């Protein structure tokens, strides 16, 4: 297995953060990202830092957060060793870009993406490393064109790496972004992968870059088509209600959130994924035949959306 080039990964991640922030600012037209560089107080167990970039109250995006982090520790947190107990006690480095975009308009979906690299080391042993990440879409009002576009670009990102890659990572995404206590998906999925190292460093890194580089191509055309659609109080209330599902997933299931909190990460940066406004309603159900009901009946059902050929 090739020796990983941590510096190359870090350079790419920083450039990706810049690229995504620039693309989102151009689409918003008014909002600008603030830049908040932070450093952890160095201890025997924890170190590192990052750059949090947040746009709030733009013309299109109510809140958009794009984080870069590079953290180190002398001991892997439980969330990182749950599936790999042999790594418990190893020192680690984790770096990545993670983003969540919450739009004003309920007809523009929320989107999430992250790409990350972990390396766990122990004196006298070979380092153990892997890549992970993906992107997924959470619409409030379903749209066939948007869903097909999102999944077509997801598939395009995977095709250079083999015909079996997209079906595998699409299914993993459908399985991962699922709220078991609600018995429903968070959204319409996309891609999710983790523990990727069997291709060797160069190919695995190329795949992570392909996922990161295709995010804006997948999301911005959807934003452009939907950002001026008229909406009223009903749509806004439904958006705030559905955002509650986002909060529930991130706090109960999301491995990145759990890793950040368990590893002593920066709370403000970790929780920037939370929507700025959200609501819960007791035992609420959509009116039969409504556009809100259609989301559950047609769109929150895993299916093959992609139209591009293999």
Phi, psi of 308 (to 5 degrees): -75, 145
List Cβ neighbours of 242 (8 Å cut-off, separation of 6 or more): 138, 140, 295
Q: Both tokens of residue 18?
A: 């810049």
Q: Both tokens of residue 217?
A: 């191509």
Question: What residue numbers does the annotated binding site for a divalent metal cation cover?
Answer: 102, 112, 151, 181
Q: What is the pTM of this model?
A: 0.92
To the query of whether residue 112 is one of the catalytic residues in this protein, the response is yes
Q: Which member of 70, 83, 104, 112 is catalytic? A: 112
Q: Both tokens of residue 188?
A: 């319409």
Q: What angle do CA 222, 143, 223 make, to 5 degrees?
A: 15
Q: What is the chain's pLDDT, residue by residue, as a tens digit (310 residues)?
A: 567 899 999 999 999 999 999 999 999 999 999 999 988 776 656 778 899 999 999 999 999 999 999 988 877 666 666 667 777 778 888 999 999 999 999 999 999 999 999 998 777 677 889 999 999 999 999 999 999 999 999 999 999 999 999 999 999 999 999 999 999 999 999 999 999 999 999 999 999 999 999 999 999 999 999 999 999 999 999 999 999 999 999 899 888 788 777 766 778 888 888 999 999 999 999 999 999 999 999 999 989 999 865 5
Question: What domains does the chain contain, in order, with CATH numbers?
Answer: 6-299 (3.40.1500.10)
Question: What residue numbers does the annotated binding site for substrate cover?
Answer: 98, 114-116, 264-266
3-state secondary structure of 5: coil
List Cβ neighbours of 307 (8 Å cut-off, separation of 6 or more): 148, 152
Question: What residue numbers does the annotated binding site cover?
Answer: 98, 102, 112, 114-116, 151, 181, 264-266
Q: Both tokens of residue 253?
A: 């299931």
pLDDT (tens digit per residue) in 127-165:
889 999 999 999 999 999 999 999 999 999 999 999 999
Phi, psi of 186 (to 5 degrees): -70, -35
Question: Are residues 223 and 60 in contact, defined by beta-carbon separation less than 8 angstroms?
Answer: yes
């Amino acid at each position: 297995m090739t020796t990983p080039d941590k510096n190359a990964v870090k350079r790419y991640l920083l450039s990706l953060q810049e690229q995504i922030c620039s693309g989102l600012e151009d689409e918003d037209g008014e909002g600008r990202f603030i830049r908040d560089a932070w450093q952890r107080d160095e201890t025997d167990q924890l170190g590192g830092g990052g750059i949090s970039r947040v746009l709030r109250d733009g013309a299109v995006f109510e809140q958009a957060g794009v984080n870069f982090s590079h953290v180190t520790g002398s001991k892997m947190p439980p969330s990182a060793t749950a599936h790999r107990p042999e790594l418990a006690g190893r020192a680690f480095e984790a770096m990545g870009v993670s983003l969540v975009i919450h739009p004003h308009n309920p007809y523009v979906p929320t989107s999430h993406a992250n790409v990350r690299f972990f390396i766990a080391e122990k004196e006298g042993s070979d380092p153990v490393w892997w890549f992970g990440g993906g992107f997924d879409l959470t619409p409030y009002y379903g749209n066939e064109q948007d869903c097909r576009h999102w999944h077509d670009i997801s598939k395009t990102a995977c095709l250079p790496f083999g015909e079996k890659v997209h079906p595998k990572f699409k299914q993993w995404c459908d399985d991962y972004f699922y709220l078991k206590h609600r018995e429903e998906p968070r959204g319409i999925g996309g891609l999710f992968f983790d523990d990727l190292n069997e291709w060797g460093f160069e190919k695995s890194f190329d795949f992570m870059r392909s996922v990161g580089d295709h995010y804006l191509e997948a999301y911005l055309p959807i934003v452009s088509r939907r950002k001026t659609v008229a909406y009223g109080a009903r749509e806004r209330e439904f958006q705030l209600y559905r955002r509650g599902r986002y909060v529930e997933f991130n706090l109960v299931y999301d491995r990145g959130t759990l890793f950040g909190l368990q590893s002593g990460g920066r709370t403000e940066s970790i929780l920037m994924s939370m929507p700025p406004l959200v609501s819960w309603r007791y035992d609420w159900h959509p009116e039969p035949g409504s556009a809100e009901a259609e989301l559950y009946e047609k769109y929150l059902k895993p299916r093959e959306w992609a139209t591009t050929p293999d």
